[in-house]
Amino acid sequence: MSGSFWFRNAIFYQALVGSFKDTTGSGVGTLRGVIDKLDYLKWLGVDCLWLSPFYASPMRDDGYDIADYYSIHPDYGTMADFEELVAELKKRDMRIMTDLALNHTSIEHEWFQQSRLDPNGPYGDYYVWGDDAQRYPEIRIIFTDAEDSNWQWDETRGQYYFHRFYSHQPDLNYDNPLVHEEVFNILSFWMDKGLDGFRLDAIPYLYERDGVGGESLPETIEFIEKIRRFLDENYPDAIMLAEANQPPSETMEFFGKGDRFHMVFNFPLMPRLFQAFALGDASPIYNIMAAMPTLPENCQWGTFVRNHDELTLEMVDEGNRSLLYSAYLPDDSMRAHVGIARRLAPLMGQDRRKIELMYSLLLTMPGSPFLYYGDEIGMLDDTSLPDRDAVRTPMQWEPGPGAGFTTSSHPRRPIVGGKGISVAEQVDDPESLLNVVRTMVQERKAHPELGTAPFEAVESGHIGVLAFERGGLLCLHNFCDETVDLGMVELGPYGYAWIPVEAAED
C-alpha cells in the first residue's frame, strides 16, 4: 500500500504545455513556459500539476497519439527542460503527474511501423491485427462522429488493425507479454524522473474479447492490479489516476479493494452538476450521491467539472442527454463526439454567480478537486475550432494580442481574449473571479477534513437547494435564480455558503 495519502487532500491543476506559455516566440507553449508560471500556480494554491501528453507525436489527437514514449515533443522543449520543471516544482513543494495513453499509440510509432512491415518480426504481435473487420461487433465506436468502424485496413500488412479511437491510433495488443514489459519500462523511465504519478488515459479499453463490449474486462482489471503492484513495490508514493468514463457501478471497479487505482475521475457526478443547474433542482446530485458506494480507505475521487475533452454525455441516459444538449448546446458547432466542447464560463452563461457556485461544488463535494487551466479566470472558448480545440486555446496572462502567452502573431491556436479575462487584469482585484477562486481554494485548505469526510445529505426544505454536511461544515448550494430563505440562512440566487456546523446549530 502506498506510503502517503497526500493525494486525498491535494488541489490539482491540469495544463496543456502547448497552450500555457510560449517562451520561444513560436506560438506554441513550452515546458520552460510552465516553469515560468509555477509561482502563479503556487499562489493559486495548486499542490499537484497534471500535464497532458507532451511526448513526440504527430499531434493528430493533441498528443494522445504518442509516437515515442521516451521523448519530448520538440515544440515543447527538451528532456532537460522536463527535468528542470520537476526540480522547480519540488523546490516549491509541489508535485507533478503526467498523462500516459497506454491503450494505443500513433500509427507513427516505430512499433507500429515495424508491426505492419513484418508480421513475424519482434513487433509483429504488438497490435490487434485481424482479417475480419466485423470482429468484436459488441465493441462500441467511441468517436462516432469521426469513425464508422473500429477496424482499419492496412495496405502494407494486408490486414486490418483494431482501434478504439481515431483510425490513426491503433490499439496495443495486451495479450502480448512483451507489451506489458514495454509498459513497465515506460513507467520506470518516467518515475525515475521524479514524478508523483500518472493519469492513465482510456484505461478501461486495454483488452478485447469476443462476445462482449470490451470495456473494464477482467483481463484489463488484472493488468491494472499488476501495474499497481509494480508501482507499490518500486515507487510506493506514486499514484495512479484513472480516466474511466464508465457507468457508475463499473467506475467503482477501478478502485477495487484499494488495490487498483488510488484515484478515479468522478465521471458519474460531473454531468449531474450541470443537470442541477439546467433544472434548478438539486435532486440529480442527491440521487447520484445516494447511489455512490463508500470508497476504500486509501482511495479518492478526482472531482472535475471541465477538462481538455468535451463535456462527455456518453454515460448519461437518453432523457438527460437531451436535457443537457438543450441547456448547453445552443449551436451545433459546439458538439464534439458525444458531448459539448465548451469551457466552464460559457457553459454557465458567463454568469459569475453560477461559475462561483460550480467552483464551490468542485471544492466541497467528496474528492480532490481538479482545476482546468483558464477556467479560473473565466476564459471563453472558440467553437469554430475543430474537434475539442475550442477548450484548448492559449492561457490568457495579459490583455492584448498575444495575451502574454506568445510574442508570435500566429499562435498555433488562436487567442480567444475578452475584456477583463486575463490573469493580469484580475490578480489585483479582490472581487475578480480569479481571487474568489483562490480564496475558495484557501478556504478548502483551511478545512482539510473536506479531503476525506463522508458526505451526509441534509434535507434543505427547498427543491433547488443542495445541502450536505462534510467535515464539520454545512455546505449549501442554491441552483435557483431566486433568493431562498432556509430559516437559519438566506441564500441569494445561485448563492452558496459553507457554515461551520456548530454555528448552524446555534
Residues within the interface to ligand GLC (CB under 6 A): 61, 64, 101, 165, 201-202, 243, 308-309
Q: Is 110 a catalytic residue?
A: no
Nearer to ligand GLC by Cβ, of 64 and 261: the residue is: 64
Which DSSP state fits 215? Answer: S
Residue corresponding to grid cell 488562436: 414
Length of the chain: 506
Distance, in Å, from the CA atom of 403 to the CA atom of 393, rounded to the nearest integer, reads: 11
Catalytic residue check, 182: no
Distance CA 437, CA 442 (A): 9
CB of 202 to ligand GLC, least distance (A): 4
Give the shortest CB-141-to-ligand GLC separation in angstroms: 13
Amino acid letter, 321: R
Query: Is the CB of 66 or the CB of 440 nearer to ligand GLC?
Result: 66
The SS3 call for residue 36 is helix
Find the angle CA(494)-CA(495)-CA(500) to the nearest 5 degrees.
150
Catalytic residue among 99, 201, 215, 425: 201
Shortest CB 212 distance to ligand GLC, Å: 21
Contact (CB, 8 A) for 244 and 267: yes
162 or 498: CB nearest ligand GLC = 162
Q: Residue with CB nearest ligand GLC?
A: 64
Written as nine digits, the cell of 388 is 475539442
Amino acid at 331: D
Other beta carbons within 10 Å of 422: 23
DSSP state of 10: P
Which CB sits closer to ligand GLC, 277 or 370?
A: 370
CB-based burial label for 342 (10 Å; 0-12, 13-18, 19+)? buried
Residue 396 and residue 419 in contact, taking contact as beta carbons nearer than 8 Å: no
Considering the complex, what minimum distance in angstroms separates the CB of residue 142 from ligand GLC?
A: 8
Residue with cell 472558448: 381
Closest CB 175 distance from ligand GLC, rounded Å: 20
CA distance 197 to 98: 7
User: Which lies closer to ligand GLC via its Cβ, residue 14 or residue 300?
Assistant: 14
Nearer to ligand GLC (CB atom), residue 38 or residue 139? 139
Of 243, 382, 389, 425, the active-site residue reads 243
Based on CB atoms, which residue is closest to ligand GLC, 201 or 425? 201
Among candidates 285, 261, 253, 258, which has minimal Cα distance to 271?
A: 285
Signed CA dihedral, 27, 33, 36, 38: sign only:
positive
Query: Per-residue DSSP letters for 360-393?
Result: HHHHHSSSEEEEETTGGGT----TTSSTTGGG-P
Q: How far is the CB of 392 from ligand GLC (least distance, A)?
A: 10
Angle 26-32-37 from CA coordinates, rounded to 5°: 110
Shortest reach from residue 436's CB to ligand GLC, in Å: 28
Phi, psi of 13 (to 5 degrees): -140, 125
Catalytic residues: 201, 243
